[in-house]
Structures are given as C-alpha cells and as structure tokens.
C-alpha cells in the first residue's frame, strides 16, 4: 500500500517537473522570434500576434497533458482507491 | 478535494443526476439567450443606439474579422458555430468572478462535448463546400500513403482540443481552491485574475482552432500545379 502511495507521489512530481521544461523552453523561443518579426514588420502585428497565440496554445497542450496526469495520480488515483476499498473491506 | 463540478450533486434519481456542471451550463445558456433576446428586441440603424447593442456589434464584427483572417471567405456561414463556441467558453471563464460559481468547462464532459461538436462540424462544412467526393479526396492528399496519418491527426486534434480546455480551466479552479486553504486574502485574488486571463485566451484559442480546422477542410482544391522541372 505504501509502495503505491510512494510511487504515485514521486511519479506525479517528476511528471510535472520534466513535462514543463520542454514547453517552457520552446515557448521562450517562439516568443523571441515573434518579437523579432514584430520589430521587423510592425504592420503585420495582428497576424503575428494571432499566430503566436495559436502556436503557444499548441505548445502549452503538452505541458497540460503532464499536469493532468499528475492531478490524476494525486487526486483520483485508481490504484490507490482500489487498495483503500480492499483495506476498508477487511 | 473536488476535481470538477461533476461531483457537486444537486438532485439525483436513479440514473439521472443533476450535477453542478449541468446547472452551471443551464445558467450560462439562460444568460446568453435571454441577454441577446433583450438586447436585440429593438435594433436601431441610426447613429444613436443603446450601449448594449454597441457591445454586441463590437463582439460580432470582431469575430467576423477573425474568421475572415483565418481564411474563410464567407464568415456569415460559420459565425453561428464559431461565435457560439467563443461566447460560451468565454462567458464560462468570465463568470468565475461570481462567488460560488465553478466553470462547467472545468469538467471533461463539457469540453469533450464541445470537441465532438467541432469533430462533427468540420466534415459537415467540408462536404457542404466541396461535395462528398471532394472532401474524402482531401484525406488522400498529398499522397494516399498519408491516409492513416490524416485520420489519426483528425482524432488526436479533437482529443487535444478537449484536454487543452479541460486542463486549463480545471487547473485554474484547483489552484484557487488550494490557495484559499493556505493564504485566504490577497493571493487567491491574483490567481483569479490570472485564471480570467487564461480562460479568455483559451476561449479565443478554441474558436480559432475550430475555424482553422474548418478552413483546412473547406479549402477549394486549386488547379493542379505544374510539376516542377526535373533537375
């Protein structure tokens, strides 16, 4: 029972920890290149801004996937619930 | 710790459950329908118009322009669907300032339903524009080898739409709930403001992505370009 708890908590922490590193780096690169092109062509700022936001949302989704997995592991863990009902039945 | 308004049960009878998601969705629908009926009862085309009509005109022309910029040439065909997506998700996020309210988009059922609507609407608009044969042929572009990948990408981007909106709204609500138990006064207000910002951005993203998918499906097949000269 403690094995499940320890494994769930450690995995939840590592999932969010590693899962948000990649998207953060790539979002930084995306915003940097958007700022460069805004400086070069300010009259296309509407298109650039819209494309930037759409791209940021797509990149953010992978971080959200990791966050959802962590939330499930911490708050709605099926293995933990199963073990708890087994223990309550005894 | 409540993950979503699904677990807030108002009334239950056997299989039928009235949970928080359904009640908040009905409240949002009522506000949208009643509000727009009240505002559009006496429309005026003169210089003087009520400020509510002005507000609605700004919203509608803004969405019109966005749909046109994405590449859909007749926005009046699509603004019903895309505008409703934006208004519903946006209002669901805006109303978090009301105490006791939880956004129904924080439940995976609502976001999965919205994503399924987009999944059904894209082929509908594509077939209406290009005919069934034209639309099905788009799956074989650029080569028939891409057929399984095109199908998988259709399914995965629907899933991504649902999970993206659900993750953003649920995380906002959950962070506020957790902070309320730790530092009850100033910090939850700051996080509520951040949740408002991300909610509006996610509403915009959801509707713009739906418009982009519809534009990709309704792009009329141009004449076959000349083959590049062999080098």
Each residue of B77-108: pLDDT tens digit?
899 999 999 999 999 999 988 888 889 998 98
CB neighbour class for B168 (10 Å; exposed up to 12, middle 13-18, buried from 19): buried
Q: What is the pLDDT of residue A86?
A: 86
Taking the C-alpha atoms of residue B74 and residue B174, their distance in angstroms, rounded to an integer, is 40
Identify the band that residue B173 occupies on the pLDDT scale cut at 50, 70 and 90: confident
Mean pLDDT (chain B, rounded): 86
Strands (E) in A1-90, as ranges, are: none
pTM for the full predicted model: 0.84
Contact B167 A47 (CB under 8 A): no
At the topology level of CATH, where does A2-14+21-85 sit? F1FO ATP Synthase (1.20.20)
Which residues, numbered 30 to 89 in chain A, qualify as contacts with chain B under a Cβ-Cβ cut-off of 8 Å? Answer: 46-47, 50, 53-54, 57-58, 60-61, 64-65, 67-68, 71, 75-76
The answer to whether residue B231 scores a pLDDT higher than 60 is no
Q: Locate A39 and state its tokens.
A: 């400086």
Please check whether residue B104 is in contact with residue B32, taking contact to mean a CB–CB distance below 8 angstroms.
no
Please check whether residue B167 is in contact with residue A64, taking contact to mean a CB–CB distance below 8 angstroms.
yes
The answer to whether residue B201 scores a pLDDT higher than 80 is yes
Taking the C-alpha atoms of residue B56 and residue B44, their distance in angstroms, rounded to an integer, is 13
Q: What is the pLDDT of residue B29?
A: 95
- What are the residue boundaries of the structural domains of chain A, listed by start? 2-14+21-85
Q: What's the Rg (C-alpha) of chain B?
A: 21
Residues of B near A (Cβ–Cβ under 8 Å) read: 1, 3, 66, 69, 160, 163-164, 166-168, 170-171, 174, 201-202, 204-205, 208-209, 212
Identify the band that residue B224 occupies on the pLDDT scale cut at 50, 70 and 90: very low
Q: What is the pLDDT of residue B222?
A: 52
- What are the residue boundaries of the structural domains of chain B, listed by start? 5-41+48-218
Of B118, B204, B203, which is closest to residue B169 (Cα–Cα)? B203
Q: What is the pLDDT of residue A90?
A: 62
Quick check: bond before B142 cis, omega within 30?
Answer: yes
Percent of chain B with pLDDT over 70: 94
């Amino acid at each position: 029972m403690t094995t499940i708890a320890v494994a769930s908590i450690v995995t939840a922490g590592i999932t969010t920890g590693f899962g948000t590193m990649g998207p953060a780096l790539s979002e930084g690169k995306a915003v940097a290149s958007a700022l460069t092109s805004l400086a070069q062509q300010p009259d296309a700022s509407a298109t650039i801004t819209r494309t930037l936001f759409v791209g940021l949302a797509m990149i953010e989704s992978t971080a959200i996937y990791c966050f959802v997995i962590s939330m499930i592991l911490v708050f709605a863990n099926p293995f933990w619930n199963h073990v708890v009902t087994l223990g309550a039945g005894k | 710790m409540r993950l979503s308004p699904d677990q807030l049960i108002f009334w239950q009878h056997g299989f039928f459950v009235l949970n928080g998601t359904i009640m908040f969705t009905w409240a949002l629908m009522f506000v949208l329908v009643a509000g727009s009926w009240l505002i559009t009862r006496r429309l005026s085309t003169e210089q003087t118009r009520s400020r509510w009509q002005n507000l609605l005109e700004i919203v509608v022309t803004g969405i019109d322009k966005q749909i046109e910029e994405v590449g859909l040439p007749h926005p009046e065909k699509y603004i019903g669907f895309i505008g409703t997506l934006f208004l519903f998700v946006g209002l669901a996020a805006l109303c978090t300032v009301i105490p006791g309210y939880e956004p129904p988009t924080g439940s995976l059922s609502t976001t999965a339903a919205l994503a399924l609507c987009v999944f059904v609407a894209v082929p509908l608009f594509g077939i209406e524009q290009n005919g069934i044969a034209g639309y099905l042929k788009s799956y074989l572009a650029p080569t028939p080898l891409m057929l399984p990948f095109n199908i998988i990408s259709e399914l995965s981007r629907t899933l991504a739409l649902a999970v993206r909106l659900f993750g953003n709204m649920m995380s906002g609500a959950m962070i506020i709930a957790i902070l309320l138990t730790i530092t009850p006064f100033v910090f939850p207000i700051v996080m509520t403001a951040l949740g408002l910002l991300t909610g509006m951005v996610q509403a915009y993203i959801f509707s713009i992505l739906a418009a982009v998918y519809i534009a990709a499906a309704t792009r009329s097949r141009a004449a076959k370009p000349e083959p590049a000269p062999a080098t």
